[in-house]
Amino acid sequence: MDNENNWKPLWDDEDMQEFEGQFIKQADGIDVQPQILPNNRFFPDWLGAIDDTHVRVKVPCADAPRFRGRKKWPTQNVFATCDLDMKFTYVLAGWEGTTSYSRILKKAFIGEDPLVIPEGKYYLGNAGFMLKPQILTPYRGVRYHLKEYSRRGPQDARELFNHRHSSLRNVIERTFGVMKKHFPIIASGTEPHYDLHTMTNIILACCILHYFLRGVDNDDSLIEEVDRELLQQDIQVLASQVRDDDHRLGSHIRDTIANELWQDYVNN
């Protein structure tokens, strides 16, 4: 390849659609994965997890603001669902980095290749999604506890739900993480060399190859590496939650003293 800017894909959009339809199959809720069975008592109708990830993208300067979302550089938003076997079951790529969950989800439900969630079934999503029958999200403002690092167990039903929800939902984070380890071209921070359309097809190709690799080579060392990174992120989140708890407790003590001082001042 003499000049990467002159590189042309070996497939066209129709080829990509055919490959995607062959390897990325939506969950129907009929064939229950063996890994799901132990959780059926509490999450009897869940199909897997749903989330998005960001991949750097090369766009004209005039379009960059629409693609510069959470990151300091332009990204495209890749929305996907996966099962407990860490295989993608639906992928919708190519969105601007600033696009909201609600807009992408709306398109996913009514687009040319719609996300179909059978009646009575649901995916587990993070707090960024709107709670609805098809997508169960955690309780807002309620912490969850990591088994290894929690100072105490869940204190009520909502905390327990959030903990169990997080334990199951993180399969989508692991899936994105393993795919990016396999294919550095879409890894976080990798500078893109191709335009948006080409990069979108590359992402879809990586999702398809990831699906294939999951069936022939699990690469446990790669999964362990991703798990360590996610655990470190969770530890940081937990540390932040502890600080928030300390702040709330300090605020409560301060407010109590302030109210008592004021009442004493007014009464005297």
Most confident listed range (5-9, 27-31, 222-226): 222-226
* CA quadruple 106, 142, 159, 53: dihedral sign: positive
Residue type, 155: Q
The yes-or-no verdict on residue 93 having pLDDT over 70 is: yes
Residue 251: band (very low, low, confident or very high) from pLDDT cuts 50, 70, 90: low
Radius of gyration of the chain (CA): 22
Residues 99 and 159: their CA atoms lie apart, in Å, by: 30
Say how far apart CA 87 and CA 184 lie, in whole Å: 18
Mean pLDDT of all residues in 130-155: 74
Domain boundaries, the chain: 4-218, 222-268
Q: Which pair of tokens denotes residue 16?
A: 């990509």
As a whole number, mean pLDDT of residues 123-143 equals: 87
Mean pLDDT of 140-163: 70
**Residue 187: φ, ψ to 5°:** -65, 150
pLDDT at residue 7 tops 50: no
> Residue 258 class from Cβ within 10 Å (0-12 exposed, 13-18 middle, 19+ buried)?
exposed
Phi, psi (deg, nearest 5) at residue 23: -110, -25
The model's confidence at residue 141, banded by pLDDT at 50, 70 and 90, is confident
- Tokens read off for 9: 């894909």
Q: What is the DSSP string of 170-199?
A: HHHHHHHHHHHHH-GGGSTTPPP-SBHHHH
Mean pLDDT of all residues in 206-225:
80
At 27-60, the pLDDT tens digits run 776 655 555 555 556 787 889 999 999 888 888 8
Within its chain, how far is the Cα of 84 from the centroid?
A: 14
| Cβ 117 vs Cβ 89: under 8 Å | no
Between 5 and 47, where is the model more confident? Answer: 47
pLDDT at 9: 45
Q: Where are the beta strands (DSSP E) in the chain?
A: 46-56, 75-82, 88-96, 122-124, 135-136
Residue 148 and residue 4: Cα distance in Å, rounded?
A: 47
